[in-house]
Amino acid sequence: MFAHRSGPVLWATALLLPLMAAMFWLRQTLRTRAGYALDQRLFQLLAGALQQHRRALIRQKPLSAWQDFHSRHLPAIESYLIDYPLQRRLVATLPLLVCLLIFPISWLAAVTLLITMPLIPVFMWLVGRGTAALQERHILALDRLGSIFGDRLLGRRTIRLHNAASREQHRFNAASRSLNDKLAAVLRVAFLSTSVLEFFSTLSIALVAVFVGFALLGEVTMGFYGTRPSLGEALFVLLVAPAFFAELKALGQLYHRKSEAQGALSAWSSVLQQALEHRPVKSSDQQMLDNVVFNESQIMGFEGAALLSVPELSLHRGDRVLLTGPSGGGKTVLLEALAGLRRIEGSVKINGEAVDDLGVLRESTLLLDQTPTLFPGSVRSNVGMEQHSDADITESLRRVGLQAWLDQLPQGLETKLGDIPALSGGQRQRLAVARLLLFSPALVLLDEPTAHLSPEERDELALLLRDALIGKTVVWASHDPQPSSWFSQHWRLDTTVHPAAIRINTDGSSE
């Protein structure tokens, strides 16, 4: 039956297989490169946005959300932006190619396939119309149950403290059971829609096989061009027909990730947008701060709305500004804007020159808040940041009253911060002040640095700061009473208007 046909087959194998392998290798290499490049680019955008807005942006999301970007969202976005469009094109062209190949052998088989093609989406839509919503609800319910599970794991201490462990356990079990029972009914229908493709692709093989077989027998004559097809033609039709549906199936698999990727894209687009609008600060722009003048300006949030209005304020070199007002009202936002981390609309001038933000101040500003930034590492690197000599660091620690503490450290400046007994909140702040003194920034911003301290620690730190910051430009947000004689200006947050406004305090009192 096959006699003397192996020659051409071997030739075709020898020529086509290496070509196929090469094409595949090329495609895969390009795909990986594209994915890698896209990843790099998006991550760079993210890092760029973070560099530009720093803490103002970072505190918009919990830490784990930033980590989710590379581990969960990037792969989904990548597949959506690269694989999905390609597969859509394949779906649009390959079935037609299959029809074109089959047409010269059997016009009936080609026409039948052509007719089933638009039927597939119609059928999927018909069956899926009811179930798509159900399935979405199923995924939602599963997600919610999953998040309750994670939530109870994290809330274990609160649950135990309320002796509620066994009740919460029963509650979770009951919720799982009832969800599973409800889902069983949904799934029964939902899988019908996914079976539609399977149904068509399977049936097409069966029908084509029987049809072609009968044609070979001579039982059927319609659909072919006069004569009976040869065996080769018949097998060709049988093998090529499934390819008609293969790309559609692949598209269906990618489609699952589409909504995930779209969600990820919309969640991150506002952040990534920040980096696209980024205007890098040229090093020649960095200059001495003489004065900053706000005039009818507004400080913008990341969602595009104004968070704070600044009708008229000016800050001159050597000013010491007290900033007061209700908590949560926007004092931190003003400090972030002064540190160059927020966009400003309206007029703002540095040394008389109009600017869009205070980005030029970004590298010459230091901020101290309630929780000083310390990192695992030696005392030396935490204070000196690898930029200052041991003598300078020791001198700075002495100035903030940590000499005695330093002397009793087992390895002196070499001691790792994690190895020593816990520092009290006051000591941690002193360490940060020592760093601040070493680096002597052009502008010092204090965001309630004494907030979480005991009364004694609070008074001691305030005294130390007032002592150490003489001669510097300082903006100090504070709830606690401060001696007004130390300050040259007093700004007040006015939350009676919307958005809240920062004004010069005129009533003379310090709070």
Segment interacting with another protein, rule: CB under 8 A, options 71-79, 107-115, 342-350, 493-501: 71-79
d(CA 382, CA 414): 10
Strands (E) across 272-375 are located at 291-300, 306-316, 320-324, 344-350, 353-354, 365-368
Interface with another protein, residue 328, by CB under 8 A: yes
Number of residues near another protein (by CB under 8 A): 136
The answer to whether the beta carbons of residues 333 and 499 sit under 8 Å apart is no
Binning the chain into helix, strand and coil, the percentages to the nearest 5 are 60, 15, 25
Interface with another protein, residue 492, by CB under 8 A: no
Interface with another protein, residue 137, by CB under 8 A: no
Q: Which is nearer to another protein, 73 or 313 (CB)?
A: 73
Minimum distance from CB of 114 to another protein (Å)?
21
Binding residue for another protein, selected from 115, 118, 163, 304, defined by CB under 8 A = 163
Binding residue for another protein, selected from 105, 212, 344, 474, defined by CB under 8 A = 212
Both tokens of 385, joined, read 């940041």
Q: Which of 440, 430, 432 is nearest to 464 (CA)?
A: 430
Minimum distance from CB of 257 to another protein (Å)?
13
Binding residue for another protein, selected from 291, 427, 488, 510, defined by CB under 8 A = 427
Minimum distance from CB of 79 to another protein (Å)?
9
Contacts of 499 (CB under 8 A, 6+ apart): 298, 305, 306, 307, 308, 309, 330
Interface with another protein, residue 101, by CB under 8 A: no
The angle that helices 165-217 and 107-154 make with each other, rounded to 10 degrees, is 170
Minimum distance from CB of 309 to another protein (Å)?
23
Q: Which is nearer to another protein, 144 or 398 (CB)?
A: 144
Q: Which is nearer to another protein, 192 or 306 (CB)?
A: 192
Restricting to residues 267-326, which ones interact with another protein according to CB under 8 A? 326
- 473: Cα within 13 Å, side-chain hemisphere: 20
Interface with another protein, residue 139, by CB under 8 A: no
Interface with another protein, residue 19, by CB under 8 A: no
d(CA 310, CA 334): 9
The answer to whether the beta carbons of residues 318 and 473 sit under 8 Å apart is yes
Binding residue for another protein, selected from 115, 184, 288, 391, defined by CB under 8 A = 184
Supply angle C-alpha 362, 364, 370, rounded to 5: 80
Minimum distance from CB of 230 to another protein (Å)?
8
Segment interacting with another protein, rule: CB under 8 A, options 90-98, 185-193, 463-471, 498-506: 185-193
Q: Which is nearer to another protein, 2 or 352 (CB)?
A: 2
Interface with another protein, residue 228, by CB under 8 A: yes
Name the β-bridge partners of 321. Answer: 475, 489
Q: Which of 119, 111, 56 is nearest to 299 (CA)?
A: 56
In the chain, how long is the greatest CA-to-CA distance?
110
Minimum distance from CB of 296 to another protein (Å)?
29
Minimum distance from CB of 450 to another protein (Å)?
10
Binding residue for another protein, selected from 85, 93, 126, 169, defined by CB under 8 A = 169
The answer to whether the beta carbons of residues 477 and 462 sit under 8 Å apart is no
Interface with another protein, residue 185, by CB under 8 A: no
Q: Which is nearer to another protein, 364 or 484 (CB)?
A: 364
Interface with another protein, residue 255, by CB under 8 A: no
Binding residue for another protein, selected from 93, 176, 403, 411, defined by CB under 8 A = 176
Phi, psi of 108 (to 5 degrees): -70, -45
Interface with another protein, residue 345, by CB under 8 A: no
Q: Which is nearer to another protein, 224 or 297 (CB)?
A: 224
Binding residue for another protein, selected from 26, 30, 47, 497, defined by CB under 8 A = 47
Contacts of 30 (CB under 8 A, 6+ apart): none
* 200-207 own/partner pairs: CB under 8 Å, 24+ apart: 200/116, 200/119, 200/120, 200/123, 200/245, 201/242, 201/244, 201/245, 201/246, 201/249, 204/113, 204/116, 204/241, 204/242, 204/244, 204/245, 205/238, 205/241, 205/242, 207/112
Using DSSP bridges, classify how beta strands 344-350 and 353-354 pair: parallel, antiparallel or unpaired: antiparallel
Interface with another protein, residue 256, by CB under 8 A: no
Q: Which is nearer to another protein, 22 or 354 (CB)?
A: 22
The answer to whether the beta carbons of residues 45 and 273 sit under 8 Å apart is no
Interface with another protein, residue 209, by CB under 8 A: yes
d(CA 446, CA 368): 5
Q: Which is nearer to another protein, 157 or 498 (CB)?
A: 157
Give the x/- contact pattern for another protein in 403-422, rule: CB under 8 A.
Answer: ------------------xx
Restricting to residues 363-402, which ones interact with another protein according to CB under 8 A? 363-367, 369, 373, 375, 385-387
Name the β-bridge partners of 366. Answer: 444
Segment interacting with another protein, rule: CB under 8 A, options 84-92, 139-147, 302-310, 394-402: 139-147
Interface with another protein, residue 263, by CB under 8 A: no
